[in-house]
């Protein structure tokens, strides 16, 4: 290379260096708007009133509870200043509150707000109602201390206080008084972002809350330091998958969730796009009716379980194996609660055994009405093939969610329906242990195990109880676990600091200039 | 004319009454429950029943119908279940801007291109232009607009990123920004209407151009352009106006597919979303709005007939 050419080359390089962004990757930048495409609008932003995950995707940036979970499921204080002081009889929990907390409306948080929020949650939230059956009272002891008085020992109290999905987030007392039973339409919390606008059927905008007091501990899941680097978060509810993908590829949105997994091979090679495979967040299940119709017969339910080829079903229904896994546990492998109890009955793919069980059951080809929503339909088709081979008369009916939710209220109309159970930090909070779900599961042993699991506070004993419960699920078959599944998420390459966690949240996220 | 208008307003009121009662009955007969949707798929039946009672949705349908009729008579369309409990007219108004702008832009495009090409094709009957015209308009009618929309996004938002892939920018954020979001959806929406209007114009023009008064005009030495636009087009335009009117009414009801592909918060998407969430008051409100749009636009088309052809009387 001639000297002249070298000079030109160096000049070009110098220019390029000067023109490149001054911020190195990894150094947070404040400012900017993050446009996030999620698969639908949340039904409400009142977390007490819904168990819909979408409400947490948005609300998790705005609301906080007394405690929160780390990514591994440990419980840490959030609005509480410390872990509770527990009386010797384990019936009284005294919770000290942080004194530096301001609500988005500028008011300081006191124990009156906390007591009002917990009491409202106990009245209207489904988890709240379950927990408050064991709570005597929640009272404000002084301005910054709350006391929870239990009727009996209840091991899941702390997990319940720490959960966010349908959990006891703290609102100002006035909001609780104004909306005692109906979902609130005023969204005031204590989180790093605050509500700005909800344009129905278009977008929800949150803006940075300047009065936020972050904790001085390391950020981990919903616990620790939360920083609102972005000026605004804008959530777009877009049900069409291609629109979410095209939107990020075209630069209209910065982030998209629930991207079809079959797009992964293409998108991972697109330069401007980052792909994220979420941790397993839920598992598919086929819920069976233990009260009415052919599936009331345990042998028939066991026959359905025996036909299950989980690998084939998941591959047919959910695509590439990097997005799912075969696992018998009612808790995820990543959780301390994981158990292999009863695994011999999982993933049997044994048609002959199923035929024998049907014979024992005296099955005469009665129709098994199986309802499926759109997401699980392919799974059901794959699973049905083996069931039909065993001689089961399956009437698989595909319907939109609203219809399925409505029809499943009447257990005489169906024998099975497909669903997904989301993972929770404490198994007692999962639908897998909810004995009232679907047609309900009236089994004395299941009831007793659930009660002792909730009463117990020693981890080892609780784990043993959970394993027994899992074994019972595999022998009684109130539902059939299929496989754990993950999501594909994508973002613009400028998005930094995103914690690819179970739920979406955008504090500590920034956008490079 | 006055008698005609009075008669039309009465029949319009009757249509609206029938539409609203029908939609109320149909919606309440459909399975589905807003309380279940609000609580999420993992809620138990007990939770759903409690919220339903709180929302007043557990009352017998007949009582709900009586209450609803009482409200409708007073002009109260109720409040949305999902859109933060806002009054239904406000929710519809929020979605009107996008739908009206999208309608006007695509209809303007369709009318201008459709009539011009239709007239040109009829004037050059059996020529190469005319045959190409027939081919392309057949294509435009046949191509599904979801496919066309996705191809336009691929071409002009991803491969050559000059226009936004999806979304909407309100007029208050600036005219050009708003326009940039509407270009691709308008082309998608206009394609089918262009073909329809153009083919109708061509057919009507060909019919009129056979008439003796056209031949006479030509024999008198009247300029070709004058013959086409003054003598022929005016007489050929009435069926075309009908087609334009129907397209207008259709579009005002919301272009469901196009609004979904481009994530435009218009009336069509509002209706779909409300059906999926069983937001009964909004569904009833939107259907009423569509019925009003249809009847008013039909009335407008009838009035336009009398302007184009003064011989027409009602």
ipTM: 0.73
Per-residue model confidence (pLDDT) at position A181: 86
Per-residue model confidence (pLDDT) at position B41: 73
Find, among A168, A163, A164, A166, the residue nearest to A148 by Cα: A168
The total of structural domains in chain A comes to 2
Is the domain of A213 the same as that of A67? yes
Is residue A277 in some structural domain?
no
Per-residue model confidence (pLDDT) at position A21: 40
Asked whether the beta carbons of residue A242 and residue B80 sit closer than 8 angstroms, the reply is no
Is the domain of A307 the same as that of A385? yes
Per-residue model confidence (pLDDT) at position A86: 95
Is residue A131 in some structural domain?
yes
* Interface membership of B96 toward A (CB under 8 Å): no
A358-413 pLDDT, tens digit each: 999 999 999 999 999 888 999 999 999 999 999 999 999 999 888 888 888 899 99
- The range of the structural domain enclosing residue A95 comes to 33-239+493-511
- The range of the structural domain enclosing residue B234 comes to 88-308
DSSP 8-class letter at B124: T
Asked whether the beta carbons of residue A246 and residue B165 sit closer than 8 angstroms, the reply is yes
Partner residue opposite B43 with nearest CB, options A51, A238, A252:
A51
Is residue A67 in some structural domain?
yes
Asked whether the beta carbons of residue B82 and residue A44 sit closer than 8 angstroms, the reply is yes
The total of structural domains in chain B comes to 2
Q: How far apart are CA A39 and CA A486, in angstroms?
A: 15
Q: In this structure, are strands A510-511 and A495-496 parallel, antiparallel, or unpaired?
A: antiparallel
In chain B, what residues touch A255 (CB-CB under 8 Å)? none
pLDDT higher than 70, residue B167: yes
* Interface membership of B42 toward A (CB under 8 Å): yes
In chain A, what residues touch B27 (CB-CB under 8 Å)? none
A229-246 pLDDT, tens digit each: 999 999 999 988 889 999
For all residues of chain A together, what is the average pLDDT?
91
Name the one residue in this structure whose structure tokens are 């808790």: A331
Is the domain of B182 the same as that of B148? yes
Per-residue model confidence (pLDDT) at position A19: 42
CA distances in angstroms from A391 to A7, A194, A395, A477, listed in the order given: 80, 56, 13, 19
Residue A4's pLDDT band, with cuts at 50, 70 and 90, is low
> What is the CATH classification number for the domain harbouring A332?
3.10.105.10
Burial of A18 (0-12, 13-18, 19+ CB in 10 A): exposed
Is residue B82 in some structural domain?
no
pLDDT higher than 90, residue A199: no
Is the domain of A92 the same as that of A172? yes
Is the domain of B101 the same as that of B66? no
Is residue B41 in some structural domain?
yes
Partner residue opposite B165 with nearest CB, options A182, A250, A419:
A250
Give the closest-approach CA distance of B230 to chain A in angstroms.
46
Is residue B190 in some structural domain?
yes
Is residue B207 in some structural domain?
yes
Interface probe for A, chosen from B36, B44, B89, B99 (most Cβ of A below 10 Å), is B44
Per-residue model confidence (pLDDT) at position A15: 42
Per-residue model confidence (pLDDT) at position A6: 53
Return all residues near A175 (Cβ < 8 A) that are at least 6 apart: A184, A186, A188
Q: Could you tell me which chain B residue has the CA closest to the CA of A400? A: B276
Q: Give me the helices (H) in A319-417, please.
A: 351-361, 377-389, 401-407
* Interface membership of B168 toward A (CB under 8 Å): yes
Range in A92-96, A222-226, B32-36, B256-260 the model is least confident about: B32-36
In chain B, what residues touch A50 (CB-CB under 8 Å)? 38-40
In chain B, what residues touch A251 (CB-CB under 8 Å)? 161, 165
Is residue A248 in some structural domain?
no
Entry pTM: 0.82
In chain A, what residues touch B183 (CB-CB under 8 Å)? none
Is the domain of A147 the same as that of A289? no
Per-residue model confidence (pLDDT) at position B254: 62
Give the closest-approach CA distance of B191 to chain A in angstroms.
20
Is the domain of A222 the same as that of A346? no
Name the one residue in this structure whose structure tokens are 């209407």: B193
Is the domain of A288 the same as that of A152? no
Is the domain of B299 the same as that of B172? yes
A125-181 pLDDT, tens digit each: 988 998 999 999 999 999 999 999 999 988 889 999 999 989 999 999 999 999 998
Is the domain of A53 the same as that of A149? yes
Is the domain of A471 the same as that of A504? no
Asked whether the beta carbons of residue A43 and residue B40 sit closer than 8 angstroms, the reply is yes
CB crowding A362-379: b at 16 or more within 10 Å, else e: ebeeeebbbbbbebbbbb
> What is the CATH classification number for the domain harbouring A104?
3.40.190.10
Interface probe for B, chosen from A178, A263, A405 (most Cβ of B below 10 Å), is A405
In chain A, what residues touch B38 (CB-CB under 8 Å)? 43-44, 49-50, 52, 183
Is the domain of A398 the same as that of A428? yes
Find, among B191, B105, B171, B161, the residue nearest to A247 by Cα: B161
Is the domain of B100 the same as that of B244? yes
Give the closest-approach CA distance of B268 to chain A in angstroms.
11
Final residue before a domain boundary, out of B10, B43, B73: B73
DSSP letters for A152-168: S--TTHHHHHH--TT--
Residue A23's pLDDT band, with cuts at 50, 70 and 90, is very low
Q: How far apart are CA A127 and CA B42, in angstroms?
A: 11
Is the domain of B153 the same as that of B291? yes
Is the domain of B59 the same as that of B125? no
Is residue A16 in some structural domain?
no
Per-residue model confidence (pLDDT) at position A2: 52
Q: Could you tell me which chain B residue has the CA closest to the CA of A410? A: B45
Is the domain of B178 the same as that of B302? yes
Give the closest-approach CA distance of A244 to chain B in angstroms.
9
pLDDT higher than 60, residue A10: no
Range in A335-339, B193-197, B298-302, B308-312 the model is least confident about: B308-312
* Interface membership of B94 toward A (CB under 8 Å): yes
* Interface membership of B91 toward A (CB under 8 Å): yes
In chain A, what residues touch B263 (CB-CB under 8 Å)? 236, 238, 240, 243, 247
A318-338 pLDDT, tens digit each: 888 999 999 999 999 988 899
Give the closest-approach CA distance of A3 to chain B in angstroms.
39
Asked whether the beta carbons of residue A181 and residue B150 sit closer than 8 angstroms, the reply is no
Is the domain of A358 the same as that of A426? yes
Secondary structure class of A510 (helix, strand, coil): strand
Secondary structure class of A420 (helix, strand, coil): strand
Is residue A338 in some structural domain?
yes
Secondary structure class of B238 (helix, strand, coil): helix
Is the domain of B115 the same as that of B63? no
Per-residue model confidence (pLDDT) at position A1: 46
A409-465 pLDDT, tens digit each: 899 999 999 999 988 888 988 899 999 899 999 999 999 999 999 888 888 999 999
Final residue before a domain boundary, out of B38, B73, B108: B73
Asked whether the beta carbons of residue B41 and residue A421 sit closer than 8 angstroms, the reply is no
Q: For A203-209, what is the mean pLDDT?
A: 97
In chain A, what residues touch B36 (CB-CB under 8 Å)? 402, 405-406, 409
Is the domain of A497 the same as that of A481? no
Q: Give me the helices (H) in A96-240, please.
A: 111-124, 126-132, 157-162, 173-178
Asked whether the beta carbons of residue B30 and residue A403 sit closer than 8 angstroms, the reply is yes
* Interface membership of B167 toward A (CB under 8 Å): yes
Residue A292's pLDDT band, with cuts at 50, 70 and 90, is very high
Asked whether the beta carbons of residue B48 and residue A409 sit closer than 8 angstroms, the reply is yes
Partner residue opposite B38 with nearest CB, options A50, A185, A431:
A50
Partner residue opposite B153 with nearest CB, options A124, A250, A405:
A250
Partner residue opposite A252 with nearest CB, options B33, B82, B164:
B164
Is the domain of B116 the same as that of B42? no
Asked whether the beta carbons of residue B33 and residue A198 sit closer than 8 angstroms, the reply is no
Per-residue model confidence (pLDDT) at position A5: 53
* Interface membership of B169 toward A (CB under 8 Å): no
Return all residues near A83 (Cβ < 8 A) that are at least 6 apart: A75, A77
Is the domain of B67 the same as that of B100? no
Q: Could you tell me which chain B residue has the CA closest to the CA of A435? A: B44
Q: How far apart are CA A70 and CA A55, in angstroms?
A: 19
Is residue B270 in some structural domain?
yes
Find, among A264, A248, A103, A102, the residue nearest to A186 by Cα: A103
Q: For B157-162, what is the mean pLDDT?
A: 89
Is the domain of A448 the same as that of A500? no
> What is the CATH classification number for the domain harbouring B237?
1.10.3720.10
A256-279 pLDDT, tens digit each: 999 988 899 999 999 899 999 999
Is the domain of B102 the same as that of B249? yes
Is residue A72 in some structural domain?
yes
In chain A, what residues touch B82 (CB-CB under 8 Å)? 41, 43-44, 200
Q: For B159-171, what is the mean pLDDT?
A: 90
Return all residues near B68 (Cβ < 8 A) that are at least 6 apart: B24, B78, B284
Per-residue model confidence (pLDDT) at position A3: 52
In chain A, what residues touch B168 (CB-CB under 8 Å)? 202
Is the domain of B94 the same as that of B60? no
Asked whether the beta carbons of residue A406 and residue B83 sit closer than 8 angstroms, the reply is no
């Amino acid at each position: 290379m001639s000297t002249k050419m070298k000079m030109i080359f160096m000049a070009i390089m110098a220019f390029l260096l000067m023109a490149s962004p001054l911020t190195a990757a990894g150094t947070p930048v404040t400012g900017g708007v993050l446009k996030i495409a999620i698969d639908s609008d949340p039904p409400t932003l009142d977390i007490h009133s819904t168990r819909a995950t979408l409400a947490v995707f948005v609300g998790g940036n705005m609301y906080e509870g007394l405690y929160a979970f780390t990514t591994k499921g440990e419980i840490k204080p959030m609005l509480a200043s410390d872990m509770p002081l527990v009386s010797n009889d384990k019936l009284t929990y005294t919770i000290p509150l942080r004194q530096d907390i301001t609500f988005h409306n500028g008011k300081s948080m006191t124990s009156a707000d906390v007591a009002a929020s917990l009491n409202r949650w106990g009245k209207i939230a489904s988890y709240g109602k379950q927990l408050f059956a064991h709570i005597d009272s929640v009272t404000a002891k002084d301005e910054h201390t709350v006391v929870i008085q239990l009727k009996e020992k209840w091991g899941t109290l702390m997990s319940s206080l720490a959960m966010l999905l349908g959990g006891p987030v703290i609102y100002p007392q006035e909001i609780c008084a104004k909306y005692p039973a109906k979902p609130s339409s005023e969204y005031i919390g204590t989180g790093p972002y605050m509500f700005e606008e909800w344009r129905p059927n278009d977008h929800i905008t949150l803006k940075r809350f300047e009065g936020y007091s972050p904790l001085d501990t390391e950020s981990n899941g919903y616990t620790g330091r939360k920083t609102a680097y972005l000026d605004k978060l804008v959530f777009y509810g877009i049900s069409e998958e291609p629109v979410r993908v095209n939107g990020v590829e075209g630069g209209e949105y910065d982030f998209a969730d629930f991207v079809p997994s079959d797009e992964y091979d293409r998108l991972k090679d697109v330069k401007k796009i980052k792909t994220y495979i979420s941790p397993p967040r839920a598992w598919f299940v086929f819920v069976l009716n233990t009260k009415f119709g052919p599936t009331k017969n345990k042998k028939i339910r066991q026959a359905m379980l025996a036909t299950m080829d989980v690998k084939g079903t998941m591959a047919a229904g959910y695509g590439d194996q990097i997005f799912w896994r075969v696992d018998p546990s009612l808790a995820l492998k990543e959780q301390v609660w994981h158990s292999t109890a009863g695994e011999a009955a999982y993933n049997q793919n044994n048609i002959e055994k199923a035929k024998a069980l049907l014979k024992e059951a005296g099955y005469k080809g009665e129709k098994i009405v199986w309802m499926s929503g759109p997401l699980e339909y392919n799974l059901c088709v794959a699973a049905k093939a083996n069931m039909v081979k065993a001689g089961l008369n399956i009437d698989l009916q595909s319907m939109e969610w609203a219809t399925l939710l409505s029809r499943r209220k009447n257990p005489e109309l169906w024998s099975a329906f497909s669903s997904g159970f989301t993972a929770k930090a404490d198994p007692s909070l999962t639908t897998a242990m909810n004995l009232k779900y679907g047609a309900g599961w009236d089994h004395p042993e299941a009831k007793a195990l659930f009660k002792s699991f909730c009463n117990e506070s020693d981890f080892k004993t609780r784990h043993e109880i959970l394993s027994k419960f899992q074994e019972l699920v595999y022998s009684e078959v109130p539902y059939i676990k299929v496989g754990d599944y993950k999501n594909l998420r994508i973002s613009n390459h400028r998005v930094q600091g995103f914690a690819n966690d179970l739920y979406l949240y955008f504090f500590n996220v920034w956008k490079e200039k | 004319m006055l008698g005609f208008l009075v008669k039309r307003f009465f029949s319009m009121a009757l249509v609206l009454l029938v539409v609203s009662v029908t939609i109320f009955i149909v919606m309440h007969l459909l399975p589905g429950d807003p309380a279940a949707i609000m609580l999420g798929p993992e809620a138990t039946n007990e939770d759903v029943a409690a919220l339903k009672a709180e929302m007043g949705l557990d009352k017998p349908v007949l009582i709900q119908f009586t209450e609803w009729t009482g409200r409708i008579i007073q002009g109260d369309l109720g409040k949305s279940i999902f859109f933060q409990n806002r009054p239904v007219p406000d929710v519809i108004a929020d979605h009107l801007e996008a739908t009206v702008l999208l309608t006007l832009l695509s209809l303007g495009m369709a009318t201008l291109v459709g009539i011009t090409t239709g007239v040109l094709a009829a004037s050059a009957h059996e020529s190469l232009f005319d045959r190409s015209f027939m081919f392309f308009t057949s294509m435009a009618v046949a191509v599904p607009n979801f496919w066309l929309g996705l191809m336009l996004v691929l071409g002009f938002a991803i491969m050559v990123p000059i226009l936004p892939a999806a979304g909407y920018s309100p007029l208050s954020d600036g005219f050009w920004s708003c326009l940039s979001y509407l270009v691709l959806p308008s082309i998608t929406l206009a394609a089918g209407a262009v073909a329809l209007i153009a083919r109708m114009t061509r057919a009507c023009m060909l019919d009129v151009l056979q008439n003796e008064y056209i031949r006479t005009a030509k024999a008198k030495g009247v300029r070709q352009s004058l013959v086409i636009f003054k003598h022929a087009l005016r007489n050929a335009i009435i069926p075309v106006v009908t087609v334009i009117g129907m397209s207008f009414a259709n579009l005002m009801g919301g272009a469901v597919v196009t609004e979904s592909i481009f994530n435009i918060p218009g009336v069509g998407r509002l209706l779909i979303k409300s059906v999926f969430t069983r937001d009964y008051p909004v569904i009833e409100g939107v259907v009423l709005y569509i019925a009003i749009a249809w009847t008013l636009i039909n009335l407008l088309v009838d009035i336009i007939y009398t302007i184009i052809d003064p011989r027409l009387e009602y």
